[in-house]
Amino acid sequence: MYNYTDFDTAFIKERNAQFRSQVERRIDGSLTEDEFKPLRLMNGLYLQLHAYMLRVAIPYGTLNSRQMHVLADIADKWDKGYGHFTTRQNIQYNWPELRDVPDMLDALGEVQMHAIQTSGNTIRNVTADHFAGAAADEIADPRPVAELIRQWSTDHPEFQFLPRKFKVAVTGSQNDRAVTKAHDIGLRMVERDGATGFEVIVGGGLGRTPMIGKVLRDFLPREDLLPYLEAIVSVYNLLGRRDNKYKARIKITVHENGLEDFGARVEERFALIRPQFGGVDQQMLAGIESDFAAPEFRSAATQDYEDARQHYPAFRSWADTNLSEHRAPGYAIVTISLKAHGATPGDATSAQMRLMADLAKRYGHDELRISHEQNVILPHVHKNDLPSIYSALRAAGLGTANIGLISDIIACPGMDYCALATARSIPIAQEIATRFDELKIEHDVGPLKIKISGCINACGHHHVGHIGILGLDRAGVESYQITLGGDGTENAAIGERAGPGFSADDIIPAIERLVMAYLDLRSEPAETFLDTYRRLGLAPFKAALYPEARANAA
Amino acid sequence: MPRAFTPKVVTANALLEGDVIYQTVSGWSRNLEEAEVLTDEADADLRLIDASQQQELVVGVYLADVDISGAAPKPTHFREDFRARGPSNYAHGKQEVKAHV
């Protein structure tokens, strides 16, 4: 893991002291809300529907047990005993009081964490594959690069007032678990002639105008990364629309100017600024890489694991669903589900956070990850430790065996918390998970990603859900629109709108009809929902969703 | 023809806690039931201006429609209903406060 330098520590301290003074001046009336709002947003503090919300960065989703313990302590001391992990690998506290926030930031600073650039029209928290450094399919660990980008972008004077927010994701694997094609810039580490470089994808994004990113460079040498990124963001800063916030993201800039023209401008800018990067960035990267050295994996038999699989069906079910292939023999990647049936997706109590931290410390080389799918990962676990881990997780309500299944739903906070939302997301996710748990067909259905957003901004990634649900306000009533066939992987696709929306009461039965139709339509149990959809198209699913339309047409 | 003015309350968030609050005849309350109902547009405009000037207490002041057919004002839109009631997944908002009254 990256460790703060003296410069980093001093920077965070100074920044927190500034914000403390700004909060004091807001409270004593020296600052108006108009003056204060941009200052609080620069420090991750929003005012939401019922309360303030503090969004804390977890860069590239990586943290250690001490940091997780402090997140739990903050939840207990200044919030309501829980935190919400988001689709941007952040954690959000939903109930802080204004005068406490400087203390919360100081507590974060003590463990090398902060809330800088988790809001505003700037380069946001850099996200990465949550299996980074552990995945069997990895070309290289993307986190040192993500950390370099974080350092480069933090308080970068040119990029504090971009036309709109700007999101960068990095993956080091061919299997894209970071949704790189739905980011302003997506970076895929690739190899060519034995050298590692990047495929640079630009102009992806969801929101009201969803677009899949386009390849700007199919191979960018490692040493060119920062100047090339700087060239992209500079060109966007110049060309990006500031007259209309809905057309301000880089996806619109690329779309309106064309990839070729945009790329030519980037290359021109890149040629100009490349000489200014004299290699210091590469020296820094080399230093950062040493911080991310792999732990020493032990070589041991996995008999305890095999025995547990054989004798305990519940453990086997969990292991089959929640484990992923590790690059070291005898090891596994554990995904801890924050999606217990009926629970709020992404929420963890302080007790659960402490347990996960302790498990990471004891069994997981002191590493945890947050996934964009709102789960927590123990990236390095020896298989013989899995029975003990499962037992502890299960006792804490964290043993749900549903990763990648229908109840492993991404859901934004929706109108239960978010000031921008137009409908609720959380109760819909809770009801779907509960319903399919009652039906006991979740494992039969197999891999199926449902993603729910409470407004058109698409924080719940509904456009790339196999089944996407978008909550809207239709004449003062919550209405839910379904999209089908979305995909957030390397084969990224935007889902197709199925038809008119459903009321809150009708959406759960509609999803049930959809899934039952899939079970009837699939060619064999191994054919996934997405495969079936791609084979047959929208029509049979639409017929299941809107049986009355078929009856009327008859 | 101008639209008829419908009954409203002045609402905002409290500066220190962020709680949803409503303007009463004499100050602010966490309970919609205690809000001052404004049925005259000119009065509503004046009360809105008055509330907006109380920056030391409140943030994001606006007028919200209410239904006054019952004994106490009620929200007419689901967003205001959630603001008055608290989130639906936990009793962590106004539900919690009311449980301790």
Residues 21-60 of A with CB under 8 A from B: 26-27, 29, 32-33, 47-52
Give the long-range contacts of residues A236-243, CB within 8 A, separation 24 or more: A236/A162, A236/A163, A236/A166, A236/A184, A237/A158, A237/A159, A237/A162, A237/A163, A239/A265, A240/A162, A240/A163, A240/A164, A241/A163, A242/A163
Mean pLDDT of A222-250: 97
Strands A331-336 and A323-325: antiparallel
A165-174 confidence digits (pLDDT tens): 999 999 999 9
**Are residues A47 and B59, on separate chains, in Cβ contact within 8 Å?**
yes
User: Mean pLDDT over all residues of chain A?
Assistant: 97
Mean pLDDT of A442-470: 98
Q: Give the whole-angstrom CA distance, residue B56 versus residue A84.
A: 30
Supply angle C-alpha A407, A408, A412, rounded to 5: 105
Residue type, A213: G
pLDDT band at A120 (very low <50, low <70, confident <90, very high): very high
Cβ-nearest to B86 among A29, A50, A99? A50
Number of residues assigned to chain B: 101
**What percent of chain A is predicted at pLDDT more than 90?**
98
> Taking CB atoms and an 8 Å cutoff, what residues of chain B touch A99?
16
Residue B95 sits at φ, ψ, to 5 deg, of: -60, -45
**Are residues A416 and B82, on separate chains, in Cβ contact within 8 Å?**
yes
* Burial status of residue A329 (CB atoms within 10 A of its CB: 0-12, 13-18, 19 or more): exposed
Structure tokens at A511: 């999803």
**Are residues A417 and B13, on separate chains, in Cβ contact within 8 Å?**
no
**Are residues B89 and A99, on separate chains, in Cβ contact within 8 Å?**
no
A144-183 confidence digits (pLDDT tens): 999 999 999 999 999 999 999 999 999 999 999 999 999 9
A422-437 confidence digits (pLDDT tens): 999 999 999 999 999 9
Structure tokens at A18: 């500034």
A424 touches chain B (CB under 8 A): yes
DSSP conformation letters of A150-216? HHHHTT-GGGSS-SS-B-EEEE-BSS-SS-GGGSSEEEEEEEETTEEEEEEEES-B-TTS-B--EEE
ipTM of this complex? 0.95
A84-117 confidence digits (pLDDT tens): 999 999 999 999 999 999 999 999 999 999 999 9
B56 touches chain A (CB under 8 A): yes
pLDDT at position A445 over 60 = yes
Q: Give the whole-angstrom CA distance, residue B35 versus residue A21.
A: 34
Q: Give the whole-angstrom CA distance, residue A91 versus residue A131.
A: 18
**Are residues B60 and A47, on separate chains, in Cβ contact within 8 Å?**
yes
Q: Find tokens 């410390």 and name the residue.
A: A361
pLDDT at position A551 is 63
Measured between CA atoms, how close is B19 to chain A, in angstroms?
5
Residue type, B34: E
**What percent of chain A is predicted at pLDDT more than 70?**
99
Q: Give the whole-angstrom CA distance, residue A112 versus residue A397.
A: 29
Q: Give the whole-angstrom CA distance, residue B48 versus residue B95.
A: 27
Evaluate whether A162 touches A233 at the Cβ level (below 8 Å). yes
Structure tokens at A329: 């023999």
Q: Which residues in A48-58 are b (16+ Cβ under 10 Å) and which e?
A: bbbbbbbbbbb
Cα Dmax for chain A = 74
Q: What sign has the CA pseudo-torsion A363, A367, A372, A376?
A: positive
> Taking CB atoms and an 8 Å cutoff, what residues of chain B touch A27?
15-16, 56
Q: Give the whole-angstrom CA distance, residue A469 versus residue A535.
A: 22
pLDDT at position A483 is 98
pLDDT band at A553 (very low <50, low <70, confident <90, very high): low
A501-548 confidence digits (pLDDT tens): 999 999 999 999 999 999 999 999 999 999 999 999 999 999 999 998
pLDDT at position A455 over 70 = yes
Measured between CA atoms, how close is A449 to chain B, in angstroms?
22
Tens-digit pLDDT profile for chain B (101 aa)? Answer: 678 999 999 999 999 999 999 999 999 999 999 999 999 999 999 999 999 999 999 999 999 999 999 999 999 999 999 999 999 999 988 888 766 54
Residues 6+ apart with CB under 8 A from A371: A61, A89, A130, A177, A335, A377
pLDDT at position B96 is 81
β partners of residue A45: A54
Q: Which residues in A198-213 are b (16+ Cβ under 10 Å) and which e?
A: bbbbbbbbbbeebbbb
Residues 6+ apart with CB under 8 A from A393: A336, A355, A359, A399
Q: Give the whole-angstrom CA distance, residue A488 versus residue A53.
A: 28
Residues 6+ apart with CB under 8 A from A86: A55, A92, A346, A374, A459
A80 touches chain B (CB under 8 A): yes
pLDDT at position A467 over 70 = yes
Mean pLDDT of A279-285: 92
A343-390 confidence digits (pLDDT tens): 999 999 999 999 999 999 999 999 999 999 999 999 999 999 999 999
B79 touches chain A (CB under 8 A): yes
